[in-house]
Amino acid sequence: MMSYAQWGNALYSGKKSYGIIKNRRIPLTVGAILMAISVIGIAIFGLNPSIEFTGGAEFVVTNTATNPPQQPAYDAVKAAGLNEQTKVAQMGTNGLRVQTSQQPIDVELKIQKELAKAYNVDISKVSKTSIGPSWGASVSKQALVGLLVFMGMIALLLMAYFRTWTMSFSALFALMHDFLITLGVFAYTQIEITPATIIGLLTILGYSLYDTVVVFDKIRENTRDMFNQSRSKYNELANLSINQTMVRSINTSITGILPVSAILFLGAALLGTSTLLDISMPLFIGMIVGTFSSIFIATPMLTLVRGRSQAIKDHNAKVDKARAAAVESGAATLNEDGSFKEVTPAVVAAPMVPGHHKGGRLRNRNGRRPRNEFPR
């Protein structure tokens, strides 16, 4: 059994390969189903916006007993004359947060007194914050505008960087995949969406985009001289690029998910800090979904869209013709599944050897690179 490093080298050199593009219908179908389920969940259950978006009153009780029960808070709000739905959440080990709709000042004072009485604290330990509906609507509008501006800028930047709309479209499709699935989880679980959650959502979009751009950059590198050869098709080079960057994507995901998991499960669960939960939950979900999309959604969608161009079709025909000639001459054979197999396969890329790189060998005794070694 090969080690993780050996597995990564085998993927990079082409000695081992997973047919992700060949079987692209499976991940694309799974992604489409998950997106549809998420949209259905959002339509049926809706999202659970916090008081910052809907407006209302928030009461924070501090200096309570350790791990105070939440039922006295519900009873206190009812005692003040409110029979509507109330949100209660623990804050740390000695505090509670109570949220209601916006009320007259006299009713809010009654709620303060009832909460202080219920938890046996001074009324000065019960703080009150009111947020008007107009301010909440403004926050919602700004969040939506921020998302649209982000998507628009990303589309333009990717088109300018890769000089093709297909990569821009595929990357945006992967971003929408990650965004909708993450929102779907929030819809089904009814976890409250706060401004910190919006920050987390925008962060995972950037994280997912980073992984996707790495794969696309490798595709651009491998297909730079594609039309000057008749050995490989576009889909095959795209599949090679995914395999070459797979270990990097996995390593990036692990190093990102571990600290977020610590914040989510240790910080939020043990300390009970709601802000940590608000920002770490979308990060945790989005990083997992983003890793999946950067490998199984973005590039398969790219090959699906790019494969429709006449230039790619003509190149594939040229490769098929060259392969038929190679089989006829005995320079290649066909596998049982009909795939092409060269008698003497070319090395796709030299395997990486840990501790050996040109950077060390190209330096002189003074630790400087020789002149004319690298073009400036």
Q: Of the given ranges (137-146, 287-296, 325-334), which has the lowest mean pLDDT? A: 325-334
Residue limits of CATH 3.30.70.3400 in the chain: 56-131
The band of 302, judged by pLDDT with boundaries at 50, 70 and 90, is very high
Question: In the structure, what pLDDT confidence band is assigned to residue 298 with cuts at 50, 70 and 90?
Answer: very high
Q: Is the pLDDT of residue 341 over 70?
A: no
pLDDT at 73: 87
Which helix H or strand E contains 175, and what residues bound it?
A: helix 165-189
pLDDT of residue 360 exceeding 50, the answer is: no
Tokens 């939440």 found at? 70
Residue 138: its H or E element: helix 133-162
The architecture (CATH level 2) of 11-49+135-306 comes to Up-down Bundle (1.20)
For 56-131, CATH number out of 3.90.1150.10, 3.30.460.80, 1.20.1050.10, 3.30.70.3400 equals 3.30.70.3400
For residue 337, pLDDT over 90 is answered with no
> Which pLDDT band, with edges at 50, 70 and 90, does 146 fall under?
confident
Distance separating alpha carbons of residues 290 and 225, to the nearest angstrom: 30
Residue 7 has pLDDT above 80, yes or no: yes
- The CATH 1.20.1640.10 domain(s) of the chain lie at 11-49+135-306
Which pLDDT band holds residue 358 (cuts at 50, 70, 90)? very low
Q: What confidence tens digit (pLDDT) does each residue in 178-225 have?
A: 999 999 999 999 888 888 888 888 888 888 888 899 999 999 999 888
Burial class (CB in 10 A: 0-12, 13-18, 19+), 38: buried
Q: How many CB atoms are closer than 10 A to CB 371?
A: 7
Average pLDDT over residues 363-376: 48
Q: Which long-range contacts (CB under 8 A, 24 or more apart) does 256-262 make?
A: 256/207, 256/287, 257/284, 257/287, 257/288, 260/284, 260/287
